[in-house]
Structure 1
Amino acid sequence: MGHVLDRIMQHADEIRTEGVEGDKLMRLTDTTAKHLRESGIIRTFQPKEYGGFEGHPREAAETVMALGALDGATGWVAGIVGVHPWELAFFDPKAQEEIWGADNDMWMASPYAPMGVAVPVEGGYILNGRWAFSSGTDHCGWIMIGAAVGDKDGNRTDKVLHVVLPRSDYEIDQDSWNVIGLRGTGSKDLIIKDAFIPEHRTLDAEIVLSGNGWRHAGRDETLYKFPFSYIFPLGITSALIGMTEGALACYIAAQKERVQVTGVPIKEDPYILFAISEAASEISASRLALLETVDRFWDKTDRGEEISFEERAIGRRTQISAAWRAVRAMDEVFARAGGAAVHLKTPMQRFWRDAHVGLTHAIHVPGMIYHSAALTQLGGEPQGAYRAMI
């Protein structure tokens, strides 16, 4: 896996520069996508039989953090698109062959939210709907999305599928992404009209969410036994922490020779020096907390032990708090960066915008997760929505 990061860092300056253009285009540039593809980062969690690395989630997280510190949108797309090969490993082998057989660098976009309805027909389903927030979708040849199963009248039922479709079966609404941050992710809407999905391109979402994907697929590698509820948010939060590291690096570089309007150099202002150290410590703590949980979950999974609901809930709490802590720390230095930081020509403002938008993702909402983690530790049993994504 180390060679993936090495390949990325060979193009670090170009990825930074392309990030400015991606922010204008509202998608990753073709050059950045090419560098990501050639680095192999999207094959991190891909099965070895299709050219994947079956890599350690810690290494994946560290690589996405490094990318996020170069350009937030690039890190975000790598983190999200990079988790889809992990789930495709649980699909029918026929679906895996359709997607990876001719090109093991084929990318898949999402989202998993069941925004459309799949009505059963002979041999599969007919799918209709509109899905928002399909990050990196312009550079993907397939999608892996959530769909509610419909009854014969097309009304939603409680059953949810994850399904894969080729680019010919859906439309990307190119005008649907015009936002203040993470613009370069190109997280556009997908429109699907009467697409037929054969049975082998579907997977019961509960199989994956319950942690039984590896049993369903007959896999015994540690990677595929890893909890979905931690591996799915990992890339997103890693990218976010990378953005705050990128913002901090920009801030420090800009402050080295800065003299304030009071005439006091930053290097001689004890209050600023304190704020820098505190922010840097908080961002570092966020990084380490996220990675410590990954290592502990991996080691336990590798020993063949199951990670309990309580451990998963605390792990999610740790992941969410890491994201919020890092962004709050970034805000402390941004507020002390001076007027120059607000100019669009400086990279710091883009990290700041990207990180704040990244914090709005559903996996960073603390309410129910914090509730469930605390309740479980107190001997309670969270129910219904309070068990979701844990």
Structure 2
Amino acid sequence: LQMEEGFTSSLPLAEDEIKIVRNMTSSSLATTFPFVSADLTTNEGVLYGINRHNNSLILFDRFKLENANMVVFAKSGGGKSYAVKLEILRSLMLGTDVFVIDPEDEYRALAKAVGGSYLPVSLNSDKRINPFDLSDMGKDADGEQNLRSAIITLIGLMNLMLGKLTPEEDATMDRAIREAYAARDITSDLRTQKNPPPTMQDLHNVLKNMTGTESLAQRLDKYVTGTFSGIFNQPTNFDLDKSFVVFNIRDLEDQLRPIAMYIVLNYIWNRIRFEKKKRMLVIDEAWILMQYEDSAKFLYSIAKRSRKYWLGLTTITQDVEDFLNTTYGKAVVSNSSLQLLLRQSPASIEIVQETFNLTDGEKLLLLEASVGEGLLFAGTDHAAIKVVGSYLEHKIATSNPEELAQLAEESSNTSTT
């Protein structure tokens, strides 16, 4: 027996008393290293946090990567929104414009702190977006392509609003939408696309006057004259004139949320394509879009094309399984050079480990991580990260109910003295 020699050899004395050698493949050898950590520090960019292995700063410019897209996965309370809010604050200081689709009213304080626009989207709101708006692509754009792109997007919207269209209904809707534009003298001629666009009411009128479209017209009724009338049936009445804009959809009924997210996403996308500028688009609770093929496909198309328009897409979700179990969800991850994994639940850790090829040590870290701790993948490198903010940043970014109540009380006491 060589127990004593084995014990001595395992001590940090640089002495090998066993003298046994064994050849190993590189993959087998890799299993002996629970972490492979890289230095993610450059001379410029945004501070994401601290490397937990060597205490170096994780600081870089996401727009210098292959693409600037990012996915953020964590269980509820894992620090997803907190990490993204800190990145938004720091990106705004570097001149990046940021749009946020906010389903839970988490970004209102941030918008107020930086002087941004906060736009509630609900049945009672006075803010309206017309889904028939055309993108202003400039005088050299292809008018037919611009109109065709709008029609395809609207057919995707109809699949969400009316239920999945049959091939016959799809073809009929294509013709009806084109006729609705024609009724406003909008054609493939780029000059006509400056005219006021049609609304949902115009499409409804066209459908009522066509033969064999009674079912489509009836299904559209509730968005034109019924319970949901008004919200998607008015001209757009605001402009994106701030560097930080939040679209809040918290007060929408569950049935309307994916529809509103789709319309807002399309509205932002049209603006992004018109003027190339460094921008971030943050979609919180992105799993809502993944529930429907047309909205999932639209999100994937933005992820795939974002680099061309100097856009960094950030998708955030706590329903990791729902997101990764879809074809388009996995495709969005594949088209994201940045992946932030914070604390995970035991129910989702297996699919996370499989998707991101994690070691058992990294899997354990994500299960036992504290709030704001996890793994950050940037291109081919990754490191264990701890997200940190200054005192002022923390006051703006926190969503902890106890801390928010305390901050509200402090603010009230200050205003009364």
TM-score where L is the length of structure 2: 0.24
Higher helix share: 1
Looking at CA atoms only, which structure, 1 or 2, has the larger radius of gyration?
2
- Name which structure has the greater RCO, CA cutoff 8 Å, separation 6+: 2
TM-score where L is the length of structure 1: 0.25
